[in-house]
A and B are shown apart, each in its own frame.
Chain A
Amino acid sequence: MAIIDTPQWKYLNRILSRKGPFADDDYDNEMQKTFLEHTKVFGAGGLGCEILKNLALSGFKDIHVIDMDTIDVSNLNRQFLFRASDVGKPKATVAASFVMSRVKGITITPYYGAIQDKDQDYYMQFKIIICGLDSVEARRWINATLVDMVDINRPESLKPLIDGGTEGFKGQSRVILPTLSSCYECSLDMLTPQTAVPICTLATIPRQPAHCVEWASILEWPRIFKDKKLDNDDPGHVQWIYEQALKRAQEFNISGVTYSLTQGVIKNIIPAIASTNAIIAASCCNEALKIATGANPFLNNYMMYTGDESVYTHTFEHEKKDGCPVCGDLASDYMVNPEWTLQEFIDRLKEKPEVQIKKPTMVTERRKLYYQGPPQLNEQTRPNLVKKMKDLVDNGEEIAITDPGLPFSLRLNVIFS
């Protein structure tokens, strides 16, 4: 008898025991229930509280969670497993012990650290990976790792990745079958491009309150405090930035600099509420339940939820991108003006939302184009920055790019325009 046959699991058991009209023909209820119990799952991210609760109440018994954050007072408006007395403690451990004490018969194994601390052997133990991460970098990393783990001779090496994210009243959830369906990297161009304000605007001609805040944090802080790092969580530091920004705004007759805006700009705060997190986390776990049991078909492969004007969902199949640097096989073509300098080429690449690099190191098969470090190599390759592309690479030549923000090496075929 499976544990799920106990009175506590009456309703879940009933649904899984009866084959539904939308389920596959070969649905085997007894097998699926056992399978559910032995499905080791992994969850992480800002949606972690909801995800752990949902998995625990969906019959999953062996759950692992990773979170590198400690609890902040601003989490309490939505991360419901935390209380004011928990502020400062690691999220993963507090959440795990709360859910284990509430729901009997399950095990949650927390790890306080970054998902990148763990290697492929660690992720190989799970059946399903669910991520509600806020950071683009972490999501790219787990995506690339899971794609890399796929070994066509071992079907069990393919781990479905369920990814969810929210912003205000909006969110999205998606199911990624690494190498088979569109991956996180395939859809990077759906992110709103982060157009940085030019430094000269900040330095000489600010127009918006945010320009004044950025001036204070990017230019004025390092000028005054030299090597002292700005700590966004230090109220004294934030206050200083706010005061400088306010002064500057008054100088230019710009209105709208407030403490809250200052914080929002320097910490890049995204509004977040309990209800949206609940929708997206539940959607992710609903897909996990369907994948684990086959009780109903699972999402193929993307759902966007918009709640600010009525309720609207767009559910569609996001297509695999030809030449995706992670799940595609080939280097992708990239149009380059042969007259650009290497520096111009790098600047343009940085603006591309589908690339998202910050400090690239670039090589071709025959030449080191530019190295960020070590110092000798940086010195040696720096003169290339002012050379024209046509003098550095041939039409059709491949450039390999590595970057601290890239969890893989990006390959581009240079096509001269």
Chain B
Amino acid sequence: MDTSPPSSAPSSAPSSKEKKYDRQLRLWGANGQNRLEQAHIALFGATAAGCEVLKNLILPSIGRFTVIDDKLVEEADLGINFFLDQDSVGKPRAERTAALLGELNPDVVGGFRSDNLENMLSHTPELLDPRTTEFTHLLVMSPVPTPILLQLPTGIPTFFVNSLGFVTTLRIYSPTHTIIETHPDSLVDLRLFNPWPELSALVLEKTRNLDVPESEGGMSDHQHGHVPYVLLLLKYLEDWKQLHDGHLPGTYSEKTQFKSMVMDKMRTNVPGASEENYEEAIGAVMKNLRNAEISSETKEVLDNPKCLNITSESDDFWIIARAVKDFTDSNNGFLPLSGATPDMKAESHGYVALQNIYRVKAHSDAAAVEEIVRDYMNRLQHPHRDQIDSDVIQLFCRHANFLRCLNYRSIADEYSNSNDEHNKAVLAALENWDAEDSLIHNYVALRGYQEFYTSHGRAPGDTSSEDCDADYDEIKRFVCQYLESVGYTKGVGVRCEKMLKEVVRAGGGELHVTASLAGGIVAQEVIKIITQQYVPVNNTVVFDGIGSRTQTFEL
């Protein structure tokens, strides 16, 4: 063997791009990164929060960004926005923020327009039409008059952000958002109550003589202490069935009995007086002894009309979902196996043999699903019928029990004051047991802010202190109207009044720390939507910088 460590740059070493983005590739992989690099984000309103969101998206390398803003930089902007400097004062804010943000990452293409949302919607609507636009995602910074919110396009994912004093809210809208890679804590699915023939055969082979003492020709202590716990459980479940007319231990007390049955079989005349694999088996009883069940989230996907009625225009996601549904229906209700196994005390070959049984089964399940997918695609003359990738189908099957489909209410529906579902959601939050401390009041106060701004063209409290009281009365009037419109009749409560005072106190101004925090929350959500990984909020998150907490609502 060569005994000097190589000193030249090795061939399998990561590329310079992989080195730079290493810490995030570990979260969303090359797939997620590719999607990020395809995105073109439009920011409407170069506010402190807006620029902080873009900062957190430019650093991990979105493809492009465009800042749209029609203001000139004021001295006061420098006190809250890090992406403006002394030289920027008096110049267009879109241009200056785009320039200073652009310095963050040479891999990202930046641009700007001295324009605003209202003007673009009326004069250059093609720039925001989902069929013609270059933008893949819209970041819209408050304040925006309500009539403009009602005109936001519904074909593009949109993030509407409020950052005011110590309070911030984010409203997400996206066309139907489906997720395969939700990144659950574990993909393990052991099927202990439902072993398939190959697994049962392995159990027989590896647990023969398990309970025979070494002196009588049984396993040595070393072998006995290294039988993987999954095999132990499957073996003792068989024994249990023999003793219980073929029934499995389903109830809590049966599982407790089963546990002591396993414990009794453990060899105790060994160092430490216990065997780690048996300890692992006992520890897994309560969690893993159960029928393989389909999660409610996956059920929702499989029962979705988009899954039941696939056409040549369906996304690949729905075709694969339909194939998984068909597979499951003809497989006694079992989803394709994930194939993941947990680590456990075992000898190398014993562990690898077990792991392979699960992998091979997962592979064959995925192959069966793939056959159904290809069959559907051919029958539907689906345009992707020659492109669909086995890897995607395998990924889908691996995550079959963790799929998500999120349907978002449109922002127009939320602000139209006539959507029953929205009204019901607000009312429920206001009448919930935790209503007294709920952050729904932050939201309601910001609805007042929204209406105040729409009517007066300025923020409440954006004035000398003497007039604050008048603004407070006016915003409270708007809130009363709003509460009535959702059907809440108990008037403005104490916490809501305090939030209104807090809103008037800010006078429409941002605090940098709140803006920066909003920038982090929003960017996380944008990344989740773009990469189609992890689970984004549906549809509103409120952060309260006074009590340092968040709450989510579907509004």
Residues of chain A whose beta carbon lies under 8 Å from any beta carbon of chain B: 6-12, 14-15, 17-18, 20-22, 50, 53-54, 57-58, 73-74, 76-78, 80, 83-84, 102-104, 168-169, 173, 205-208, 224-225, 228, 234-240, 242, 252-254, 259-260, 263-264, 269-283, 285-287, 289, 296-297, 299, 303, 305, 307-313, 315
Check: B514 CB closer than 8 A to any chain A CB.
Answer: yes
Check: B412 CB closer than 8 A to any chain A CB.
Answer: no
- How many B residues have CB within 8 A of the partner chain? 92
Give Cα A303 to B512, complex, Å: 20
Give Cα A317 to B104, complex, Å: 38
A269 touches B26 (CB 8 A): yes
Please provide the chain B residues from 192 to 224 with a CB less than 8 Å away from any CB of chain A in the complex.
none
A7 touches B14 (CB 8 A): no
A14 touches B59 (CB 8 A): no
B82 touches A102 (CB 8 A): yes
Spot the interface stretch: B238-246, B474-482, B545-553: B545-553
Give Cα A286 to B82, complex, Å: 16
B19 touches A73 (CB 8 A): yes
Q: Tell me, rounded to whole Å, the shortest Cβ–Cβ distance linking B10 to chain A.
A: 4
Digitize B361-397: 1 where CB-to-A-CB distance is under 8 Å, 0 elsewhere: 0000000000000000000000000000000000000
Which one of B465, B501, B510, B520 contacts A282 once the chains associate, using CB atoms below 8 Å? B520
A278 touches B79 (CB 8 A): no
Q: Tell me, rounded to whole Å, the shortest Cβ–Cβ distance linking A40 to chain B.
A: 18
Spot the interface stretch: B127-135, B340-348, B423-431: B340-348
Give Cα A320 to B226, complex, Å: 42
Interface centre among B14, B85, B509, B524, by most A CB within 10 Å? B524
Interface centre among A6, A18, A208, A272, by most B CB within 10 Å? A18
B24 touches A235 (CB 8 A): no
Interface centre among B506, B511, B552, by most A CB within 10 Å? B511
A77 touches B21 (CB 8 A): yes
A239 touches B13 (CB 8 A): yes
B511 touches A15 (CB 8 A): yes
Which one of B61, B536, B548 contacts A310 once the chains associate, using CB atoms below 8 Å? B536
A281 touches B3 (CB 8 A): no
Give Cα A53 to B82, complex, Å: 7
Check: B265 CB closer than 8 A to any chain A CB.
Answer: no
B24 touches A273 (CB 8 A): yes
Q: With A278-B520, A283-B548 known to touch, is A310 a contact of B535 (CB < 8 Å)?
A: yes
Top 9 A-B pairs, shortest CB-CB distance: A278-B520, A11-B509, A279-B520, A239-B10, A282-B517, A57-B512, A275-B523, A10-B76, A282-B516
Which one of A8, A84, A252, A272 contacts B352 once the chains associate, using CB atoms below 8 Å? A252
Interface centre among A17, A22, A280, by most B CB within 10 Å? A22
B59 touches A77 (CB 8 A): yes
Q: Tell me, rounded to whole Å, the shortest Cβ–Cβ distance linking B145 to chain A.
A: 21
A residues near B352, Cβ cutoff 8 Å: 207, 252-254
Check: B262 CB closer than 8 A to any chain A CB.
Answer: no
Q: Tell me, rounded to whole Å, the shortest Cβ–Cβ distance linking B510 to chain A.
A: 6
B82 touches A310 (CB 8 A): no
B residues near A287, Cβ cutoff 8 Å: 548
A residues near B20, Cβ cutoff 8 Å: 73-74, 76-77
Q: Tell me, rounded to whole Å, the shortest Cβ–Cβ distance linking A48 to chain B.
A: 14
Which one of A6, A254, A270, A274 contacts B55 once the chains associate, using CB atoms below 8 Å? A274
Q: With A9-B79, A297-B546 known to touch, is A260 a contact of B536 (CB < 8 Å)?
A: no
Give Cα A275 to B517, complex, Å: 9
Digitize B515-555: 1 where CB-to-A-CB distance is under 8 Å, 0 elsewhere: 01101110111010000001111100100011111101000
Q: Can you list 25 A-B contacts (CB < 8 A)?
A: A11-B79, A11-B510, A15-B506, A15-B511, A17-B465, A18-B468, A22-B546, A58-B512, A80-B55, A205-B347, A207-B346, A224-B3, A236-B5, A240-B6, A252-B349, A259-B14, A264-B26, A275-B523, A278-B55, A286-B548, A299-B548, A303-B549, A307-B534, A309-B182, A312-B552
Which one of B1, B25, B534, B541 contacts A309 once the chains associate, using CB atoms below 8 Å? B534
Residues of chain B whose beta carbon lies under 8 Å from any beta carbon of chain A: 1, 3, 5-10, 12-14, 16, 18-27, 52, 55-56, 59-61, 74-76, 78-80, 82, 85-86, 103-106, 165-166, 182-183, 226, 343-344, 346-349, 351-352, 461, 465, 468, 497-498, 501-502, 505-507, 509-514, 516-517, 519-521, 523-525, 527, 534-538, 541, 545-550, 552
Give Cα A305 to B519, complex, Å: 15
A8 touches B79 (CB 8 A): yes
A309 touches B59 (CB 8 A): no
Q: Tell me, rounded to whole Å, the shortest Cβ–Cβ distance linking A261 to chain B.
A: 10
A residues near B22, Cβ cutoff 8 Å: 74, 77, 260, 263, 269
Q: With A11-B511, A57-B79 known to touch, is A80 a contact of B104 (CB < 8 Å)?
A: yes
A residues near B80, Cβ cutoff 8 Å: 11-12, 57
B513 touches A206 (CB 8 A): no
Count A/B pairs, Cβ under 8 Å: 265
Q: Tell me, rounded to whole Å, the shortest Cβ–Cβ distance linking B438 to chain A.
A: 14
Q: Other CB < 8 Å A-B pairs besides A58-B513, A278-B520, A310-B541, 18 of them?
A: A7-B74, A11-B511, A15-B506, A57-B512, A58-B511, A76-B59, A78-B59, A236-B7, A239-B13, A252-B349, A274-B520, A275-B527, A279-B520, A283-B517, A283-B548, A287-B548, A299-B548, A313-B550
A18 touches B6 (CB 8 A): no
A57 touches B82 (CB 8 A): yes
Give Cα A264 to B79, complex, Å: 40
Closest residue of chain B to A224, judged by CB?
Answer: B3
Closest residue of chain A to B6, judged by CB?
Answer: A236
A residues near B14, Cβ cutoff 8 Å: 259-260, 263
B502 touches A21 (CB 8 A): yes
Give Cα A50 to B22, complex, Å: 20
A278 touches B24 (CB 8 A): no
A residues near B523, Cβ cutoff 8 Å: 274-275, 278
A residues near B103, Cβ cutoff 8 Å: 83
Closest residue of chain A to B354, judged by CB?
Answer: A207
A residues near B56, Cβ cutoff 8 Å: 273-275, 278
Q: With A18-B468, A77-B60 known to touch, is A286 a contact of B182 (CB < 8 Å)?
A: no
B506 touches A14 (CB 8 A): yes
Give Cα A277 to B545, complex, Å: 17
B534 touches A278 (CB 8 A): no
Closest residue of chain A to B550, judged by CB?
Answer: A313
Give Cα A252 to B353, complex, Å: 11
A residues near B513, Cβ cutoff 8 Å: 54, 57-58, 282, 285-286, 289
Give Cα A271 to B507, complex, Å: 39
Closest residue of chain B to A22, judged by CB?
Answer: B546
A residues near B61, Cβ cutoff 8 Å: 77
A21 touches B501 (CB 8 A): yes
B27 touches A168 (CB 8 A): yes
Give Cα A305 to B517, complex, Å: 12
A21 touches B498 (CB 8 A): yes
